[in-house]
Amino acid sequence: MNRVTVVTHPLVQHKLTLMRRKDASSNSFRRLLGELSTLMAYEVTRDMPLQDMPIETPLEAMTGKVIDGKKLVFVSILRAGNGFLDGMLNVVPGARVGHVGLYRDPATLQAVEYYFKMPSGMDARDVVVVDPMLATGNSAAACVDRIKRLDPRSIKFVCLLAAPEGIHRLHKAHPDVPIFTAAIDRELNDHGYILPGLGDAGDRIFGTK
Ligand code: URA
């Protein structure tokens, strides 16, 4: 079973509630998403390996601990995933970034890949897939499928909102991938939107409709 971590920190919950409001402007939605994703990055990177670094303080030599940000890859599922990236990069500026573009085939409802670009050396890297909404879970599962072919050291999935259906789908396909979310909502509607949700994350981030 995937580990599902719901990040219940009061700052996360507060910002999420403000984002859900239908009268939140695109500007404030984007700002809140940036702040929230920074807080989510804090949780997702909690178990990142540290390495020793010899340094000198003004008083003496010591061995400090540092993370190797270059080993980490944030993979954004286009396009809403991009709204998550900046906040994550704020705290891990050395991370690399990959992008996956997927659309839903209207006939089969399956995720079809139209773009895939990853940094080199994926087999030595830890991957964090970012997408604000884990709805049906089809895109998340397809994205993880594709990344697994590159044999990375680890994969995690981070979102803002998850539907039970999406968690179930991702779990069934990839039980080894831990999921981090700010909330698990009630259900999906017939159009694949999360209820109560926050609407179309991409439209709200980019001000499209
Ligand atoms: N994608 C969104 O942007 N919103 C949802 O509710 C579901 C999928």
Ordered domains of the chain (ranges, CATH): 4-48+67-206 (3.40.50.2020)
- What is the distance in A from the centroid of ligand 1 to the CA of 49? 33
Q: For ligand 1, atom 2, which residue shows the shortest CA distance?
A: 200
- What is the distance in A from the centroid of ligand 1 to the CA of 175? 23
Query: Which residue out of 33, 194, 198, 205 has the highest number of ligand 1 atoms within 8 Å of its CB and is therefore the one to mutate?
Result: 194
Q: Are the CB atoms for 123 and 115 separated by under 8 Å?
A: no
For residue 114, the model assigns a pLDDT of 95
For residue 196, the model assigns a pLDDT of 98
For residue 123, the model assigns a pLDDT of 94
Q: For ligand 1, atom 5, which residue shows the shortest CA distance?
A: 193
For residue 1, the model assigns a pLDDT of 56
Cα torsion 24, 209, 131, 151 to 10°: value is -160
**CA dist., res. 154 & res. 78, Å (int):** 21
Query: Which residue out of 131, 134, 160, 198 has the highest number of ligand 1 atoms within 8 Å of its CB and is therefore the one to mutate?
Result: 198
For residue 8, the model assigns a pLDDT of 96
For residue 109, the model assigns a pLDDT of 66
Q: Are the CB atoms for 171 and 134 separated by under 8 Å?
A: no
For residue 35, the model assigns a pLDDT of 96
For residue 188, report the phi and psi dihedrals to the nearest 5 degrees: -100, 150
Parallel, antiparallel or unpaired: strands 61-67 and 50-56: antiparallel
For residue 125, the model assigns a pLDDT of 94
Interface predicted TM-score (ipTM): 0.95
- Which residues does a 6 A CB cutoff place in the pocket of ligand 1? 80, 133, 135, 192-194, 197, 200-202
Q: For ligand 1, atom 7, which residue shows the shortest CA distance?
A: 193
- DSSP 8-state symbol, 101: E
For residue 167, the model assigns a pLDDT of 97
Q: For ligand 1, atom 4, which residue shows the shortest CA distance?
A: 200
- What is the distance in A from the centroid of ligand 1 to the CA of 80? 9
For residue 2, the model assigns a pLDDT of 64
Regions in the chain scoring below 50 on pLDDT:
none
Q: What positions carry a catalytic annotation?
A: 104, 108, 200, 203
- What is the distance in A from the centroid of ligand 1 to the CA of 197? 8
Q: Are the CB atoms for 127 and 156 separated by under 8 Å?
A: yes
For residue 203, report the phi and psi dihedrals to the nearest 5 degrees: -60, -40
Model confidence, pTM: 0.93
